Amino acid sequence: MPYYRRVGEVPRKRHTQFRQPDGTLYAEELVGQEGFSSDSSLLYHRYAPTAIVAAEEFTLPAFTRVPNLPLKPRHLRTHKLDGTGADPVLGRQYLLANDDVRIAYVLADRPSPLFRDATGDHCLYLESGSLRVESPFGVLDAVAGDYVIIPTSTIHRLVPTGDEPTRLLAIEAAGHVGPPKRYLSVRGQFLEHSPYCERDVRGPDAPLLVDDEDVEVLVRHRRGWTSYTYAHHPFDVVGWDGHLYPWAFSIHDFEPITGRIHQPPPVHQTFQGPNFVICSFVPRKVDYHPDAIPVPYNHHNVDSDEMLFYTGGNYEARRGSGIGQGSISLHPSGFTHGPQPGAAERSIGAEFFDELAVMVDTFRPLDLCDAASTCEDDAYAWTWARRG
């Protein structure tokens, strides 16, 4: 994260003696990216964070990936995946994936186990409901419209809160996710042209101290999954400081960039990951040239697949296609796509779009996962041939 935070008790100097009330040393843990060459945080544990008493292989039901063949646009209705509920980690239903990113959806009604993903960062988007993110860094509360970034290897637990169902889109990267570099100064400060800034970002603000022993933590790593039993609960941190921690940002705080004529998707970019970007389409004034056509022009992204998650309002370019709340559209590279028939003409004269959507553009093709086949609208690919 591009700015420094200090939470709880830490000594004046790093890597110096810092003692507990009984005289024993607190155990330091440096959490860092890219070896010792990028952002990091320094945590102070009551007990050794390395102390495990058991390790067993853990097996999850596998999901398959198949190419998008025949190549065509897809429409997935995520609300058709609703079941009896699940936890927000192990209950994820994977829809789309490639070697850089996995995209899943879950309707969660119970807490997850303690979990760490050692393969990459997670970007979670809350479609509805609320969620408490617990970690050694403390508690981070999230509500509908929030993005939550969980750094690689952060042990955490996701706890649905409130009475409304917690619907979650999970974007799991094979690497790190953060603000686009063009929004940041060389020292990591948000620049003036950025559509959001440090004031919009929330992080944990108090330690979360738990004294349990023999605690299970599930770990996804590069070879599979392992269930560890830790001698002491990992939430025993009395203080930490640094630039790397879970953080949240509301899509409603994204300030849209508009112009006299239609603006391309890069103006909506919110995050970047390895070989993919995440964009936010929010309610906004639209093009004010007297001859402007506010909806997108037909376009053929030769280098990327475009996935769009519709999470509120009315998406003008897709009217008449069956797109609704919770829909996901996939427009692959190799297919020219654009507004539905009649949308361009209808949009002329519009001054405001009331739409909310999360877009993931990937630079390698997205495969279809098992859950995609159970919620696909097979008629979507042919809707451009309709008139009206």
Place of tokens 């979650």: 168
* 44 assigned ligand-binding residue: no
With respect to residue 229, please indicate whether it lies within any of the assigned structural domains: yes
Q: CA-CA distance, 135 to 158, in Å (whole number)?
A: 9
Residues 361 and 215 in one domain: no
Question: What is residue 140's three-state secondary structure?
Answer: strand
With respect to residue 23, please indicate whether it lies within any of the assigned structural domains: no
Residues 162 and 224 in one domain: yes
Residue where one domain finishes, among candidates 209, 225, 251: 251
Q: What is the pLDDT of residues 32-57, one digit of tens each?
A: 998 888 999 999 999 999 999 999 99
CB-CB neighbours of 377 under 10 Å: 18
Residue where one domain finishes, among candidates 204, 225, 251: 251
Amino acid identity of residue 169, one-letter, is L
Q: What is the pLDDT of residues 249-261, one digit of tens each?
A: 999 999 999 999 9
Across-strand partners of 362? Answer: 276, 305
Q: Which domain holds residue 375?
A: 257-385
Q: CA-CA distance, 103 to 360, in Å (whole number)?
A: 9
pLDDT at 338 exceeding the cut of 90: no
Please report the pLDDT score of residue 150 as a whole number.
98
pLDDT at 388 exceeding the cut of 50: no
* 337 assigned ligand-binding residue: yes
Residues 238 and 94 in one domain: yes
Residues 114 and 226 in one domain: yes
In the structure, what pLDDT confidence band is assigned to residue 357 with cuts at 50, 70 and 90? Answer: very high
pLDDT at 86 exceeding the cut of 80: yes
Please report the pLDDT score of residue 375 as a whole number.
96
User: Mean pLDDT, to the nearest integer, of 20-29?
Assistant: 98
Mean pLDDT value across the chain: 94
Q: How many secondary structure helices (H) and strands (E) does the chain include? A: 2, 28
Percent of the chain exceeding pLDDT 70 equals: 97
- Number of domains observed in the structure of the chain: 2
262 is catalytic: yes
> Could you tell me the two tokens for 310?
């519709």
Residues 233 and 266 in one domain: no
With respect to residue 5, please indicate whether it lies within any of the assigned structural domains: no
**Strand pairing of 115-117 and 213-221?**
parallel
Residue 85's region, left for phi above 0, alpha for psi from -120 to 50, else beta, is left
User: Mean pLDDT, to the nearest integer, of 322-341?
Assistant: 91
Residues 321 and 301 in one domain: yes
pLDDT at 356 exceeding the cut of 70: yes
pLDDT at 387 exceeding the cut of 70: no
* 99 assigned ligand-binding residue: no
- Say whether the peptide bond before residue 11 is cis (omega within 30 degrees of 0): no
**Strand pairing of 276-281 and 269-273?**
antiparallel
Please report the pLDDT score of residue 386 as a whole number.
67
Catalytic position from the list 233, 262, 289, 331: 262
Residue 345, Cβ density class (10 Å: 0-12 exposed, 13-18 middle, ≥19 buried): exposed
CA distances (Å), origin 124, targets 134, 267, 296, 321: 14, 21, 27, 27
With respect to residue 320, please indicate whether it lies within any of the assigned structural domains: yes
User: Mean pLDDT, to the nearest integer, of 100-119?
Assistant: 97
Angle among Cα 74, 96, 129 to the nearest 5 degrees reads 95
Angle among Cα 366, 374, 100 to the nearest 5 degrees reads 20
Residue where one domain finishes, among candidates 251, 269, 288: 251
In the structure, what pLDDT confidence band is assigned to residue 164 with cuts at 50, 70 and 90? Answer: confident
Assign residue 263 the CATH number of its domain: 2.60.120.10
> Could you tell me the two tokens for 249?
């940002």
Residues 172 and 49 in one domain: yes
Residues 263 and 364 in one domain: yes
CA neighbor of 137 nearest in space, from 238, 211, 269, 32:
238
Please report the pLDDT score of residue 320 as a whole number.
63
Residues 196 and 56 in one domain: yes
With respect to residue 263, please indicate whether it lies within any of the assigned structural domains: yes
